[in-house]
Amino acid sequence: MWRKSRLNYAPTSRNFPPIRSSAFQVAFVLLGVVILVVLLAPIIYTLGESSGGLASALTDPLIVGSILTSFYAAFLATVIVFVTGVPLAYVLSRYQFPGKSLIDAALDLPILIPHDAAGVALLLLLSPKAPLGRVLMQAGLCFTETLWGIVIAMAFVSAPFMIRAAQEAFESVDVELEMVARSLGASPARVFWHVTLPLSARGILRGCLLTWGRAISEFGAVVILAYYPMSAPVALYYLFITRGLSAAIPMTGLLVLMALAILVGVRLIAER
Amino acid sequence: MSVKLERIRKRVGDFELRDVNLSVEKGEYFVILGPIGAGKTLLLQIVAGFLRPDEGRVFLDGEDITDLPPEKRRIGYVPQHYGLFPHMTVEENVAFGLKMRKVERREIEEKVGEVLKLLDIDHLKDRYPETLSGGERRKVALARAMVVEPSVYLLDEPLTGVDPREKEKLRRELRELHRSLNKTFIHVTHDQAEASLLADHIAVMREGRIVQVGSVDEVFRNPSDEFVAKFVGFKNLFRGEVIEAREGIAVIDIGGPKVEAVTERKGTCLIGIRPDDIILALEPPKSSMRNVLKGRVVGYDKAGAFAEIRVDVGGVEFVALITRASFDELKLEVGKEVYVCFKASAVKVL
């Protein structure tokens, strides 16, 4: 699965060590190998240990159900973050207003706050006894112990990824292009649709993928706000706590395999 | 269409455009001249409508358009780096304006084809901007602005960054385009040669203010202050004291040499002489020139058909612009004695 790094040397056989190599190159490669081992060894080992139990994991309703819940919630979270985050990113990238630097800085908070702390903060606001939670209950919306709770927790932690990616994408579009488009008769909405969006689509898509990836792997905020219905990370935690390490291994193997499959899939599509 | 700016004021960060009043006549070629950072592009953007002035009004053909958004003004804007849409082909770029005005597809194809052919770029219509040369991009940007038939064209530094050998040809093309379109052109530049060769009227800008407006002659021959004088090419700027005055002629001591100028001024003043108004001679010429000063050549620069000669006259350095032919004839070299000659009327008292 991991690609052999391609090193640029004078033409020799591809796998043969270079005749001339500096200590610098050797040191860098060795350091790189260290982190590769740290990242990949657990994954490879887990895959090995879990290979036996994968079949039973795939048929366990708790496991499969939690995975489906995770996918669905992450999808919803990404959509919500997209619809609300992209406009915010545009405003931040194009307009000036008082307090802008404060808001801009605050957007990085969800990344720094420990995930369970974020969960508690959300609970404080959204539990049925809380001021906002009470109001929402009247409207029939409940965020604790429901799918929407998972969605909100996921959205909270993954929003900065979308907003930053979209912001960067918009900032890479020259304002001059938008000005020319206006002079040619396009309203601000049409400028966004015909000029800005096509040129920033790539960056925004990247934002969507990062958001989705971050959302689906979220544990801390979800476990506090919405333990039920169990998302995959929560279900794994449940198995680990109640039945021990050996019970958790098959599901872990399955989740790792799925992550790999998604990674490969996205790369293949991107190369197209 | 005529363009008028009345008491425009606009603050952007630390920079402020102040008390800008401008009047551009219908169909004329108007150049806004000024150093980089003078606020020329800002001004253009206010005319186009991308920026709202803090104070003042903008008029198009007498109509107040200050509150009109850019997409409703019929103004063609060609930015400094052309602003071609990189994700569209040349044809799509040029068609954009017509598409926004919801023109029918067949008509769009026709009009775009016409304009592309007119500018000799129809063979590029399926190409993407990144594959085009600078000159080709310029034409596409022009075509895109032309096809919607605006009443005013705003050109931001259209000849800046162009190969000097190409510049002359492009200046001619721009002038011809202006003539054939017969529309108002507002051209922004920091190049005084461009301004002098293209403009009907010029406005000189400095640090957010307009310091002089007038015809090319007015601005280039009668600069209103030292800044304008320097900017339009006056090289011989000297501070002096009027020591004698009779019948409208003043004798000014500039720290050694004495210069005669047509002026009623008294006391200290700043004078300027254009290098091209100076004639160099080996013997005092028998002519009506009141200023004949003996000096010594201290250096020269040859550039194309001209030569710039630096002559020390009694401790004061004069710069003269003469033709290569004259240079060769005079057999000038460093240390040679020459006479710096110029009319009293060539001396501008600022």
Render pLDDT for B44-78 as a digit per residue (tens, 0 to 9).
999 999 999 999 999 999 899 999 999 999 899 99
Residue showing tokens 């710039």:
B308
How deeply is B318 buried, as exposed, middle or buried, from its count of CB atoms within 10 A (0-12, 13-18, 19+)?
A: buried
Answer with the residue of higher pLDDT: A141 or B342.
B342
- Is residue A61 in some structural domain? no
Write out the E strands in chain B.
3-12, 15-24, 29-33, 55-60, 63-64, 75-78, 152-156, 184-189, 201-206, 209-215, 236-246, 249-253, 258-262, 268-273, 279-281, 291-303, 306-313, 316-323, 337-342, 347-349
Residues forming beta bridges with residue B296, ordered by sequence position: B312, B337
Phi first, then psi: give them for residue B77, nearest 5 degrees: -115, 125
Query: How many CB atoms within 10 Å of residue B35?
Result: 14
Q: Which of B41, B45, B46, B50 to mutate to test the interface with A (most CBs of A within 10 A)?
A: B50
How deeply is B296 buried, as exposed, middle or buried, from its count of CB atoms within 10 A (0-12, 13-18, 19+)?
A: middle
The tens digit of pLDDT for each residue in B295-339 reads 999 999 988 888 999 999 988 899 999 999 989 888 888 999 999
- Is residue A64 in some structural domain? no
Q: Do A180 and B79 count as a contact with CB atoms less than 8 A apart?
A: yes
Confidence of residue A8 (pLDDT cuts 50, 70, 90): low
Q: Which residues contact A34 (CB under 8 A, 6 or more apart)?
A: none
CA-CA-CA-CA torsion for B305, B310, B311, B316, nearest 10 degrees? 140
Domain count of the fold of chain A: 1
- Is residue A125 in some structural domain? yes
Q: Which of A100, A180, A202 to mutate to test the interface with B (most CBs of B within 10 A)?
A: A180
Q: Is A77:A238 a contact under the CB 8 Å cutoff? A: no
- List of chain A residues whose C-beta atoms are within 8 Å of the C-beta of residue B75: 183
Domains of chain B, by residue range, sit at: 3-231, 236-349
Which of B50, B71, B81 comes nearest A185 by C-beta? B71
Q: Is A143:A65 a contact under the CB 8 Å cutoff? A: no
Phi first, then psi: give them for residue B273, nearest 5 degrees: -130, 135
pLDDT of A192 strictly over 80 = yes
Residue A61 CA to residue A163 CA, distance in Å, equals 36
Q: Do A184 and B97 count as a contact with CB atoms less than 8 A apart?
A: yes
Q: Check if B65 contacts A (Cβ < 8 Å).
A: no
SS3 B301: strand
| Beta-carbon contacts below 8 Å between A and B | 58
CATH number for B236-349: choose from 3.40.50.11720, 2.40.50.100, 3.40.50.620, 3.40.50.300.
Answer: 2.40.50.100
Residue showing tokens 């909270």:
A156
| CA distance between the termini of chain B | 35
pLDDT of B142 strictly over 60 = yes
Element (H or E) spanning A61, and its range?
helix A61-94
Question: Which candidate, B20, B44, B21, B10, places its Cα nearest to that of B188?
Answer: B44
Query: Residue A227's domain spans which residues?
Result: 69-231
Q: Which residues contact B145 (CB under 8 A, 6 or more apart)?
A: A183, A184, B76, B77, B78, B97, B153
The tens digit of pLDDT for each residue in A68-115 reads 999 999 999 999 999 999 999 999 999 988 889 899 889 988 889 999
Q: What CATH number is attached to the domain comprising A217?
A: 1.10.3720.10
Residue of A nearest to B12 (CA): A96
pLDDT of A143 strictly over 90 = no
Phi first, then psi: give them for residue A39, nearest 5 degrees: -80, -40
pLDDT of A4 strictly over 70 = no
Residue B100 CA to residue B202 CA, distance in Å, equals 34
pLDDT of A2 strictly over 60 = no
Position B264 scores a pLDDT of: 85
Percent of chain B with pLDDT over 70: 100
The tens digit of pLDDT for each residue in A12-42 reads 555 555 556 788 889 999 999 999 999 999 9
Confidence of residue A141 (pLDDT cuts 50, 70, 90): confident
Position B75 scores a pLDDT of: 93
pLDDT of B278 strictly over 60 = yes
- H helices of B103-258, in order, are 105-118, 134-146, 164-181, 192-198, 216-221, 226-231
pLDDT of B177 strictly over 50 = yes
- Is residue A89 in some structural domain? yes
Phi first, then psi: give them for residue B101, nearest 5 degrees: -90, 10
Domain B3-231, CATH: 3.40.50.300
Q: Is B101:A185 a contact under the CB 8 Å cutoff? A: yes
DSSP letter at A144?
S
Q: Do A183 and B73 count as a contact with CB atoms less than 8 A apart?
A: yes
The tens digit of pLDDT for each residue in B280-295 reads 999 888 888 889 999 9
- List of chain B residues whose C-beta atoms are within 8 Å of the C-beta of residue A174: 83
Peptide bond into A229 cis (omega under 30): yes
Residue B296 CA to residue B315 CA, distance in Å, equals 10
Binding-face residues of B in 98-117 toward A, CB within 8 A: 100-101
DSSP letter at A196?
I
The tens digit of pLDDT for each residue in A158-189 reads 999 999 999 999 999 999 999 999 999 999 99
- List of chain B residues whose C-beta atoms are within 8 Å of the C-beta of residue A177: 83, 85
Residue B134 CA to residue B156 CA, distance in Å, equals 15
The tens digit of pLDDT for each residue in B85-129 reads 999 999 999 999 999 999 899 999 999 999 999 998 989 999 999
- List of chain B residues whose C-beta atoms are within 8 Å of the C-beta of residue A187: 69, 71
Report the complex ipTM.
0.81
Q: pTM of the entire structure?
A: 0.81
Residue of A nearest to B101 (CA): A185
Position A1 scores a pLDDT of: 42
Structure tokens at B26: 């219908």
- List of chain B residues whose C-beta atoms are within 8 Å of the C-beta of residue A190: 100
- List of chain A residues whose C-beta atoms are within 8 Å of the C-beta of residue B83: 174, 176-177, 179-180
DSSP letter at B69?
-
- Is residue A186 in some structural domain? yes
Percent of chain A with pLDDT over 90: 63
Q: Check if B87 contacts A (Cβ < 8 Å).
A: yes
Position A135 scores a pLDDT of: 86
